[in-house]
Structure 1
């Protein structure tokens, strides 16, 4: 059976630099009726476990280590036996949320994760966070961008561990060259496409989003 993309929204808080904000997060599940991976285990391990519907969870993949994207990861891992994958450049952020409980596997640029016969290529796309990654699944015509690229522009870069020129370079060099019809599944908010976003790069740069 071909892989598919399932989606749920979980709610909680994002905390960094002494501030806390209420947020809704997208959780993406990629797989078939037998096995799946979870991209960003946010806020509610029980809801994510229920959404798996009895499938074997092969991996928990973190697009980056802001607490709202990883807070439910250890609980989900404990419940399913799945291993947590994170780019090592985000370990300092991870440790703010889960001190003493490191992730299980390192993600690296160009690495390929395979689930239900579908390949997802890891693209290191720093800027929102040093270890931010996107996951490109050409067989699904999709890319999972975490908080690197949203409908309407790049992710926020006004807090610790982030950098605006870096995120612009990541989007320009790693994401916008993908085929225009590629569906962009984001960490928050609505889905978009590469083709819808690519014409706006210059205006993002000018406004220093």
Structure 2
């Protein structure tokens, strides 16, 4: 398959209250994650960093005007690939070791599954996980995620102060040991990463822990959430979050 250069690699969607959703429309849905850019009075936070196929600094230079902190919700390629471009990175302590080694990464579906230790289970995996090139001459075979240093180690209950707004760290393991969500208690907005989104929740990775996942979702179901901003797909309200959590909790696991 011959790929052409994308006109725009990133898509930005302005939201209310100083929030921008950033997506990579040319990435396959398997690895098409959200970046959430939240602006405070004193500083900005970017929640997750995408695949890193195209430079965030080059394509969205205004994002870096106030030296934002990037918070990584967990250590998977579609959430940390562009993190090396930020001068300060934060993640849960349980994700530090994986990030320091360099997370498993490939733009080829079968190879990525092998890197992650997953079985396709009859799925027809896409050969290539992008449908355009970020720039002329880009070779998808060279894609990797370099080892990352975490500058700020997060734990459950930590508060990230942006000036005029604050985010509380919730450690919610299950999908991976280092999964976190960020709660803005003032508005009830929750940035969920891959803890919960409007789709099939993945709990069968080699690093996944279904019992821990159940405890994490039971905790979420009891919180007063107004809006969930997930790692994949569109935002949804607290009622839908509770529906999704209860649906998972009502399903027996092996």
Return the TM-score normalized by structure 2.
0.67
- Kindly state the Cα deviation for residue 176 of structure 1 after the two structures are TM-superposed: 1.8
Q: Does 1:176 align with 2:221?
A: yes
- Kindly state the Cα deviation for residue 202 of structure 1 after the two structures are TM-superposed: 4.1
Q: 1:47 to 1:148 in 2, by over 3 A?
A: same
Q: Does 1:29 align with 2:37?
A: yes
Structure of greater Rg? 2
Q: Does 1:84 align with 2:89?
A: yes
Q: Does 1:131 align with 2:178?
A: yes
Report which stretch shifted further, 139-148 or 189-198.
189-198
Unaligned 5+ runs, structure 1? 15-20
Partners of 1:22 and 1:203 lie apart in 2 by: 22
Unaligned 5+ runs, structure 2? 1-15, 104-144
Please show how residues 1-209 of structure 1 align to structure 2 within 5 Å: 4-10=18-24, 22-32=30-40, 35-44=43-52, 46-47=55-56, 50=60, 52-53=62-63, 55-74=65-84, 76-77=85-86, 81=87, 83-94=88-99, 95-97=101-103, 101-152=148-199, 155-173=201-219, 175-180=220-225, 182-208=226-252
What is the aligned-residue RMSD (CA, Å)? 2.7
Return the TM-score normalized by structure 1.
0.80
Q: 1:196 to 1:36 in 2, by over 3 A?
A: same
Q: 1:70 to 1:204 in 2, by over 3 A?
A: same
- Kindly state the Cα deviation for residue 96 of structure 1 after the two structures are TM-superposed: 3.1
Asked if the contact 2:40–2:165 (Cα under 8 Å) also holds between the matched residues in 1, the reply is: no
Query: Aligned residues, how many?
Result: 194
**Structure whose residues are more often strand by fraction:** 1
Asked if the contact 1:129–1:162 (Cα under 8 Å) also holds between the matched residues in 2, the reply is: yes
Partners of 1:51 and 1:172 lie apart in 2 by: 39
Partners of 1:197 and 1:112 lie apart in 2 by: 23
Q: 1:36 to 1:147 in 2, by over 3 A?
A: same
Q: 1:12 to 1:85 in 2, by over 3 A?
A: farther
Asked if the contact 2:228–2:241 (Cα under 8 Å) also holds between the matched residues in 1, the reply is: no
